[in-house]
Structure 1
Amino acid sequence: MSRTYKDVFEFYFKKKYLKVRIKTNDEIEAKKELDYILQNDCDCVDLLELLGLYIIAYGQKTESSGYLKLMNTCKVLKEKDIYFCSDMDDDSVFVLLIKYIMKNKMNKKFGALRRYTVDDVKKWILKDDIDYDQAWHLLVAYILYQELNGKYCFSSVGEVKDLGQKKFTYYNQCKCEELLLWMAIAAGIERRKIVSTLIMVVSKRKKSEEALAEIRKEIPWEQIEEKIPSIK
């Protein structure tokens, strides 16, 4: 069994409403509350709220790199005119390409953009705020980025020419703990497994690479993959 980028995109596109819930932006407060919930087995707390606490306590919060840098670029360029120049960074090119494609009604040519309306792009893709949205992280910052790069070659990162042909392997390459956890939550992996994985990662508080390995060990890609239908 193997799933393509198209399989993964279509499955998680339907889950994009499952947003991480940020209860506090205070790192110390988030650590205390997360530790309390995990130690006391509070089943009433929503998994997306738990993930929000984990992100603020231990996750990536800097806007100078990774998906948050791209999210910030979307916010900055949201109302800007479409103007490409030779010294533009990759993320800026990506954002302006989205705007160009939508303006010229070319989105139906792209597997990861054809499902979005102009309003979707304005309200969801081109963010107003940094909200740690992991659906956006997967669908926009990774899959759409790879597909547009496959067409326009604006970045040295990976590229995908055809979402329906390329096998999805990113789960085992991803460097972001919160994205792996969100993918598991959105796929319907049982609560007990999610919570026990969080307890293990938080209690040991390993380095990022070790935490990623721990998550993949407890929730391997094969468990998530079997939840994703194959699109014929």
Structure 2
Amino acid sequence: MTALLAGLGLGLSLIIAIGAQNVFVLRQGIRREHVLAVVIICAVSDAVLIAAGIAGLGAVLEVVPWLIDVVRWAGAAFLVGYGMLAARRAWRPPGALTIDSALPQSADSAAPAGPGDGRPATIVAAPARLRGVLLTALALTWLNPHVYLDTVFLLGSIASTWEDQRWLFGAGAMLGSVLWFTALGFGARYLGRWLSTPRAWRWLDAGIAVVMVAIAVSLVWPR
């Protein structure tokens, strides 16, 4: 259970940071277009990358077991640094997440102006095609170099320090991806406006900093 929760905490901490993928999922959720397909693409892609990291690095560390201690301390150092960056963002936020342009038009604002109405006519964007949305989701996931550092190398490395429980750790990280993308996509109508404020991201970054440092300590603490 400890390994599962540790994986869940690290997975959420890595994935919650503002990024193009999260903004895209949030945007599709707000527009209510192909949300389930986007959530599935992102969650399954994360699961594949996490499994690849655990399996690949696990095989290497079985051949060179002394690397486990190196990975343990290197991972702890990286997590502390990552946590400090999150703490700095919480202390001095870079700015709000801009999503207003993705909001669907209301019935009033979308209605064309009538004679003497006094309101400007509003053009409502046509719904995006499923194929284009899926290709965009795949590109934002698989063509992002950070996903290989965070999801494959970092998660795979830290999972390997749990030895026999590394797949439980990975399952926790996969669960974190499912929970986050589901909440972000289907809760977008509620989360969108809340996450567009600097204060909300300051709280999120503060929580990320605490989780990162706590996991770093657990890596080097005797078990």
In the superposition, the TM-score normalised over structure 1's length comes to 0.26
Higher helix share: 2
Q: Which structure would you say has the larger Rg? A: 2
In the superposition, the TM-score normalised over structure 2's length comes to 0.27
Higher RCO structure, 1 or 2 (CA under 8 Å, sep 6+):
2
